[in-house]
Amino acid sequence: MKKYLFTLFLLVGFHTYQSAQEIEKLALSIGVIAPDFNLKGVDGKMHSLANVKNAKGYLVIFTCNHCPFSQAYEDRIIDIHKKFAIKGVPVIAINPNDGDREPEDNFENMVKRAKANHYPFNYLVDNDQNTAKAYGAKRTPHVFLLNAQRKLIYTGAIDDNFEEAKDVKIKYLENAIQLFLAGKPILTPSTKAIGCGIKWKKY
């Protein structure tokens, strides 16, 4: 029995490793045009980047309900949207998690959380997870800052301290947006996303 469980563990681990490698290969590189999508929002409507009016850029953030990292960053994401949406760079939040594996992240609970926390941005569900795979998202939260032509100009973390907003020393994302809006090169276009692993569907 122990030998069987060990073999099963290896097979599951290998399958997970292969999936991670496949996603890594699909990950967007800086300067590459990101794909558009057509995803259902908590408002019941379908949303795409093409439908965002007067956008100078797009801030696509893969996030979710249950992850402690996403919860810790929730207020900061709201603040970032309020600060930069009026400048033409709105947040588009996407939940990539399988709601069957993680019920707290199902669509019904997305609607409840968005309403309870007064999300000022679109919160979309990636039911088939194809958008997360196309972007190469690995964690929640995982940020992808795009310019008006949808070219990736920054990806990774929001800042350097998920635990305490008051102790943040480097605001990676805000710095990138400020430089982009000023027409200056982004000095650090890529950082490591810190958060919960995406809950992929089991096949």
- What are 70-109's pLDDT values in tens digits? 999 999 999 999 999 999 999 999 999 999 999 999 999 9
Superfamily of domain 29-197 in CATH is Glutaredoxin (3.40.30.10)
d(Cα 103, Cα 124) in Å, to the nearest integer?
Answer: 16
Q: What is the pLDDT of residue 26?
A: 57
What's the mean pLDDT in 141-149? Answer: 98
CA distances to 31, 95, 139 from 146, in Å: 9, 18, 18
pLDDT reported for residue 27: 75
Residue-range domain boundaries for the chain: 29-197
Residue with tokens 């929001």: 158
Question: What pLDDT was estimated at residue 94?
Answer: 98
Cβ within 8 Å of residue 199, ≥6 positions away: 97, 98, 101, 102, 105
Q: Which residue, chain included where needed, has tokens 């199902």? A: 106
What are the tens digits of pLDDT across the range 18-41?
354 454 555 799 999 999 999 999
Q: In terms of pTM, does the model score above 0.75? A: yes
Q: Report the pLDDT averaged over residues 42-59.
A: 97
